[in-house]
Amino acid sequence: VGTLAQRNIVLVGFPGTGKSTVGKVLAEQLGWRFVDTDDYIELKQGTRISKMFRELGEPAFRRIESEAIAAVLEGSEQVIATGGGAVLAESNRICMQKGGYVIALKADSETIINRVKQDMNRPLIQGDVNERVQALLETRRHAYDFADLMIDSSLVSVEEIVGQILSAIK
């Protein structure tokens, strides 16, 4: 795949598909830095993402997110976990494809709902979690298809997923 020459591994996927969990373990195994773009944004802005959605609105958050993705992808030897909506802008997708090997994690809706239902820092999944997840999954049905590799995280352990990624990039 020539992946390691591509400098970064970018994990994309719906919220709750395991991007951060998998990314941390993968980075450790590769000896690369782990970067979570949501954490990067919160650190830079000094605010929680939920607060940014509330006070600035989603379009402003998306602009900040695009800047963060471009900035992080300047670096190399990083495993980068992105926010679930980071793939929506074409410019972000192009930036990811240029700067790294893009891996999409997916999971079935039941798995996703179980993973996200406790988390209050996901502004797009507040209220009726079931309904919100189903609706968002529907609108984003093909949003992650541009990835170089797609892995289902529903029924496999983090170690197995990391193993699959490592053998795909070797």
Contact between 18 and ligand S3P by CB under 6 A: the answer reads no
Contact residue for ligand S3P among 11, 35, 49, 113 (CB under 6 A): 49
Contact between 84 and ligand S3P by CB under 6 A: the answer reads yes
* Rounded-to-integer distance, Cα 120 and Cα 98, Å: 33
Contact between 124 and ligand S3P by CB under 6 A: the answer reads yes
Contact between 38 and ligand S3P by CB under 6 A: the answer reads yes
Q: Which residue number has the CB closest to ligand S3P?
A: 83
Q: Which of residues 58-77 bind ligand S3P (CB under 6 A)?
A: none
CA distances from 32 to 17, 20, 35, 73, 128 (A): 21, 14, 10, 14, 38
Cα Rg, the chain, nearest whole Å: 15
Structure tokens at 2: 């020539």
Structure tokens at 164: 């699959």
Contact residue for ligand S3P among 101, 122, 161, 165 (CB under 6 A): 122
Contact between 83 and ligand S3P by CB under 6 A: the answer reads yes
Stretch that binds ligand S3P, among 92-100, 102-110, 122-130, 157-165 (CB under 6 A): 122-130
Contact between 123 and ligand S3P by CB under 6 A: the answer reads yes
Structure tokens at 66: 């695009």
Structure tokens at 106: 């997916």
Burial 59-78, CB ≥16 within 10 A → b, else e:
eebbebbeebbeebbeeeeb
Minimum distance of ligand S3P from residue 38's CB (angstroms): 5
Which residues contact ligand S3P (rule: CB under 6 A)? Answer: 15, 38, 49, 83-85, 122-124
